[in-house]
Amino acid sequence: MPTSPRVRLGPILLEASFVVLGVFVALVANEWRADANARAHAAHARAGIVEEIAANRAAVAEAHAYHERLLDTLRTYFPPERPPPPPAVFDRGFVHAATLLRTAWDAANATDAVSHMDYDEVLAFSTLYAEQARYERAAQNAGSVIYSEIVEHGVPGVAENFRNLSYLIGANTYLEAELLAAYDEMLDALGEAP
């Protein structure tokens, strides 16, 4: 009876160990590469958000300066003997709210980059964008009121009602000052002070 050749397990086990080790190293390298890509994507998204916040701050600062100038001008018309201001005083409109961006923030959320960012920063960004939305709603409401008045009384009629208009502009100016303070605090915390 012929004897079967003896199988040596040592080399087989050694080869199997190398295969398992190779698969494990490949999985670890793949995971490391995915984490590095996610961190790089999050850093890129964060930079875009910071840039967007700085641009929004500049837009709000410009709108705030316009509204402050309007309020200063309108105060000179408050004595009762003065005629109302001419519509030309409102060279950018009765209320000229800033147009704010949120594209970088929305893109970071849509691409899940925020899940790889620092939680406290994400919370601060989210709070700031919520304050922006409040400002935008207030500006939209003011615009609706002014539009209704223009339809009913015409542009000269709105200018003649400058005392009430001053309250509307003042409320907008107050929200802009709050938003500017929030931007400054955020940019300072990020080391990007204006």
**pLDDT, tens digit only, all 194 positions of the chain:** 566 667 677 777 778 787 787 878 777 777 788 677 878 899 999 999 999 999 999 999 999 999 999 999 998 888 777 888 888 899 999 999 999 999 999 999 999 999 999 999 999 999 999 999 999 999 999 999 999 999 999 988 888 888 889 999 999 999 999 999 999 999 999 887 76
* Burial classification of residue 87, based on how many CB atoms lie within 10 Å of its CB (0-12 exposed, 13-18 middle, 19 or more buried): middle
* Residue 61 confidence (pLDDT): 98
pTM of this structure: 0.83
- Do the beta carbons of residue 105 and residue 125 sit within 8 Å? yes
* Residue 1 confidence (pLDDT): 57
Sign of CA dihedral 71, 151, 84, 93: positive
User: Per the structure block, which two tokens stand in for 169?
Assistant: 């502009």
R_g of the chain computed on alpha carbons? 31
* Residue 194 confidence (pLDDT): 65
Return phi, psi of residue 6, to 5°. -80, 130
CA–CA gap between residue 84 and residue 186 (Å, rounded):
41
Q: How many helices (H) and strands (E) does the chain have?
A: 4, 0
User: Per the structure block, which two tokens stand in for 193?
Assistant: 């002070």
Which residue in the block uniquely carries the two structure tokens 């300066």?
65
